[in-house]
């Protein structure tokens, strides 16, 4: 194995969507990731499963590793031939000690690259609705450490130049030193009425912003109980927040939302949650697998021309069915004159990807909706094919049989419990960092509940909003002991999110 390389990657201030494309690519290719406390944990989901993860987080008074140890780890892993990513909150070269790490590597002849990130002073201010420069208010901006030892006799900060000479002052890691910062700015000519904003956990659901002036910001900070990490913005641009506070106005702002869909299927839902201002936390509780025995499905595919109706009750069923047809080299024209039913719009879209258009779709996207829709049809002697999950409800085939149809139900795929990080889930729930749980099927609920200690269920879900895609899923949740707060009237992801937005708007 040849000599490796170290990538010093800026993760941005917290919102994982703010990482650069190059930074994301480095993460996806990394053998080793050494990551900080302020880098979003969601970024680790992009790392290969076989990559080594090393936590090197630092909090005031609590360091996982001293900086010298971090330097040594980076060098040793690279010398062993690994591609190493040093994932740092914000930008590596802006109060991130990336310069020290780069210098250490350079002195030892170890290749490295720097991948800049959105620095907290700019990104956090923007998410609070504060542009650090503005033609009418600020032509200069300074990024300043707020972590200087207040006991130092001689400050390295030139307060006499900063206070009167720079329009916008942005202090990093300065909450502990807020009294000193205020004192120095007032001593060196900044007016007491100068606007100030304190933004904690900026760009995340926990973001809080407190505004005031140099005259009263200390008292307001005490009343708000703010603590590290905080970005301090001083200057006239803070006034613009009243008009420009876009992030905090979004309907799901402040909500971290669990998405319990199968791995690889939660992406579009996560994007929609982000667009609404929430933070999606993808935790698949189910996994999709091929059937244990392809025999029944293969037999049905071999005589497709015999069926009058083919009913798809999920997009997973569509993909599994047509995927198997492709593997068996069976032409799609073998469906002949069979009519196709899709249970809902997402399933219909999955069918249409194969160049087919559905004949029917119920108004209510559940099995009972299909039965109601078919009441006007004479089904006596008609052959129905239902390729679906091995654990699908029996309501549909039973009702069709009662209407005189001949029903062939075959398992096209299996729904299994996913191997998620149970300890991480429990930690998030115990620390009340999950605000909303969304369930899109009964199986997602069942497998979620299996992960929780039964005796802790009430306390873990206290204060957590539970949202279900429809009445069937909601009924399963209630049977398992969950309190259901939101049930979508339209049984789709969009309908679920609409119902969620309405719930918080009304609440």
- CA 44 → CA 27, 52, 55, 96, distances in Å? 8, 11, 11, 19
**Is pLDDT at 74 greater than 60 in this prediction?**
yes
Whether residue 250 is predicted with pLDDT greater than 60 in this model: the reply is: yes
Report the CATH fold assignment for 5-118.
Answer: Cobalt-precorrin-4 Transmethylase; domain 1 (3.40.1010)
Answer whether 0.75 is exceeded by the pTM. Answer: yes
Predicted pLDDT at 417: 85
Q: What is the pLDDT of residues 302-356, one digit of tens each?
A: 999 999 999 999 999 999 999 999 999 999 999 999 999 999 999 999 999 999 9
Where are the chain's structural domains?
Answer: 5-118, 122-245, 256-285+419-506, 289-417
Q: Which residues are catalytic?
A: 36, 58, 173
**Each residue's pLDDT tens digit, 170-226:** 999 999 999 999 999 999 999 999 999 999 999 999 999 999 999 999 999 999 999
Question: Which is nearest to 57 in space by CA: 28, 86, 24, 83?
Answer: 86
CB-CB neighbours of 203 under 10 Å: 24
The CATH number, out of the four listed (3.40.1710.10, 3.40.50.150, 3.40.50.1000, 3.40.50.10090), of the domain defined by the range 289-417: 3.40.50.10090
Select the CATH number that applies to the domain covering 122-245 from these four: 3.30.950.10, 3.40.50.2000, 3.40.50.10860, 3.40.190.10: 3.30.950.10
Q: What's the mean per-residue pLDDT of the chain?
A: 93
The answer to whether 35 touches 44, Cβ cutoff 8 Å, is: yes
Kindly indicate whether the domain formed by 256-285+419-506 is annotated with CATH number 3.30.70.270: no
Element (H, E) at 410: strand 406-417
Give the per-residue pLDDT at 264. Answer: 61
Consecutive H or E run containing 390: none
5-118 and 256-285+419-506: identical CATH topology: no
Is residue 3 scored above 60 in pLDDT? Answer: yes
Q: What is the pLDDT of residue 422?
A: 87
Alpha-carbon distances of 154 from 142, 185, 392, rounded to whole Å: 20, 16, 72
3-state DSSP assignment of residue 493: helix
DSSP for 338-371, please give it.
-EEEESSHHHHHHHHTTT---SB--SS-SHHHHH
- Report pLDDT digits (tens) over 120-177: 999 999 999 999 999 999 999 999 999 876 666 677 899 999 999 999 999 999 999 9
- Decide if 140 contacts 249 (C-beta within 8 A): no
Tell me the C-alpha distance between 13 and 450, whole Å. 35
% residues pLDDT > 70 (the chain): 96
Give pLDDT tens digits for 422-448. 898 999 999 999 999 999 999 999 999
Query: How far is 131 from 124, CA to CA, in rounded Å?
Result: 10
pLDDT value at residue 287 = 86
Distance between CA atoms of 299 and 353, rounded to whole angstroms? 24
């Amino acid at each position: 194995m040849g000599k490796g390389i170290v990538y010093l990657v800026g993760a941005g201030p917290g919102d994982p969507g703010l990482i650069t494309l190059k930074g994301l690519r480095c993460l996806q290719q990394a053998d080793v990731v050494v990551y900080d406390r302020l880098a979003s944990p969601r970024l680790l989901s992009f790392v290969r499963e076989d990559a080594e993860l090393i936590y090197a987080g630092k909090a005031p008074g609590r360091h996982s590793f001293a900086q010298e140890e971090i330097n040594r780890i980076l060098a040793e892993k690279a010398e062993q031939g690994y591609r190493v990513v040093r994932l740092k909150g914000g930008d590596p070269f802006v109060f991130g000690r990336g310069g020290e790490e780069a210098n250490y590597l350079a002195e030892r002849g170890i290749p490295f690259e720097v991948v800049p990130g959105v620095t907290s002073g700019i990104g956090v201010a923007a998410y609070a609705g504060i542009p650090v420069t503005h033609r009418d208010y600020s032509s200069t901006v300074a990024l300043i450490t707020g972590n200087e030892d207040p006991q130092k006799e001689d400050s390295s900060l030139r307060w006499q130049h900063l206070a009167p000479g720079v329009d916008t002052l942005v202090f990093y890691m300065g909450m502990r030193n807020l009294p000193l910062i205020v004192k120095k700015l007032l001593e060196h000519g900044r007016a007491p009425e100068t606007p100030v904003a304190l933004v904690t956990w900026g760009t995340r659901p926990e973001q809080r912003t407190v505004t005031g002036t140099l005259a009263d910001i200390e008292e307001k900070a005490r009343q708000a109980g703010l603590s590290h990490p905080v970005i301090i913005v001083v200057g006239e641009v803070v006034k613009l927040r009243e008009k420009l506070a876009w992030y905090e106005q979004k309907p799901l702002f402040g909500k971290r939302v669990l998405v319990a869909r199968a791995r690889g299927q939660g992406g579009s839902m996560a994007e929609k949650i982000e667009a609404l201002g929430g933070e999606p936390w993808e935790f698949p509780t189910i996994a999709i697998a091929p059937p244990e025995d392809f025999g029944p499905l293969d037999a049905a595919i071999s005589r497709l021309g015999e069926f009058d109706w083919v009913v798809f009750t999920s997009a997973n069923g569509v993909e599994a069915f047509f995927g198997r047809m492709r593997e068996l080299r069976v032409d799609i024209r073998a469906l002949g004159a069979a009519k196709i039913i899709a249970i809902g719009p997402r399933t219909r879209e999955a069918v249409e990807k194969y160049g087919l258009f559905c004949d029917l779709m119920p108004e209510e996207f559940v099995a009972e909706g299909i039965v109601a829709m078919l009441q006007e049809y004479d089904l006596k002697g008609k052959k129905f094919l239902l390729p679906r999950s091995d654990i699908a409800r029996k309501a549909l085939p039973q009702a069709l049989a009662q209407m005189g149809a001949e029903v062939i139900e075959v398992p096209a795929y299996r729904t299994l419990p996913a191997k998620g990080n149970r300890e991480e889930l429990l930690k998030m729930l115990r620390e009340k960092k999950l605000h909303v749980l969304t369930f899109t099927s009964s199986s997602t609920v069942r497998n979620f509940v299996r992960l929780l200690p039964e005796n802790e269920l009430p306390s873990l879900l206290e204060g957590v909003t539970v949202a279900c895609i429809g009445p069937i899923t909601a009924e399963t949740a209630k049977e398992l002991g969950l309190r259901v707060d939101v049930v979508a009237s339209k049984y789709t992801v969009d309908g679920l999110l609409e119902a969620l937005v309405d719930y918080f708007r009304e609440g």
